[in-house]
Amino acid sequence: MGSLDNKQQQSINKTGNEDCLNAFMFSNLIAFPIVLKAAIELNLFAIMAKVGPGAHISASEIASQLPTNNPSAASMLDRMLRLLASHSMLKYSLRTLEDGRVEKLYALTPSSQLFVSNDDELSLSDVSILSYHPAVMEARFRLKDAILEETDGDLFKKVHGLTLFEYMNNDPTFNNIFNRAMVGLSQFVMKGILEFGQRRFSRTSPTPIVRLLTGILNGIEHVGGDMFSNVPTADAITLKGIHAIIECYK
Which residues, at least 6 apart from 222, have a Cβ–Cβ distance to it below 8 Å? 210, 211, 213, 214
CATH code for the domain defined by 2-113: 1.10.10.10
Q: How many CB atoms lie within 10 A of CB 85?
A: 17
| Residue ranges with strand state E in the chain | 57-58, 90-96, 102-108
User: 112: which residues sit within 8 A by CB, 6+ positions away?
Assistant: 45, 48, 84, 89, 90
State yes or no: pLDDT of 158 exceeds 50. Answer: yes
Exposed/middle/buried for 77, CB within 10 Å: 0-12, 13-18, 19+?
Answer: buried
Residue ranges of the chain that CATH labels 3.40.50.150? 125-216
Which residues lie closer than 8 Å to 124 by C-beta, 6 or more apart? 114, 115, 184, 185, 188
Lowest mean pLDDT among 43-47, 70-74, 202-206: 202-206
pLDDT at 209 over 60: no
Homologous superfamily of 125-216: Vaccinia Virus protein VP39 (3.40.50.150)
Give ranges for CATH 1.10.10.10 in the chain.
Answer: 2-113
Reported for 61-65, long-range contacts at CB under 8 A and 24+ positions apart, including other chains, are 62/106
pLDDT at 118: 65
Angle, in degrees to the nearest 10, between helices 31-41 and 73-86: 120
Distance CA 196, CA 99 (A): 52
Name every residue whose Cβ is closer than 8 Å to that of residue 98 and which is 6 or more positions away in sequence.
none
Question: According to the model, what pLDDT value does residue 213 have?
Answer: 45
Decide: residue 108, CB within 10 A, 0-12 exposed, 13-18 middle, 19+ buried. Answer: buried
Measured CA to CA, the distance from residue 211 to residue 222 in angstroms comes to 7
Residue 81 confidence (pLDDT): 96
70: Cβ contacts below 8 Å, ≥ 6 apart: 76
| pTM beyond 0.75, yes or no | no
Distance separating alpha carbons of residues 228 and 190, to the nearest angstrom: 21
pLDDT over 90 at 124, yes or no: no
Query: Which pLDDT belongs to residue 171?
Result: 94
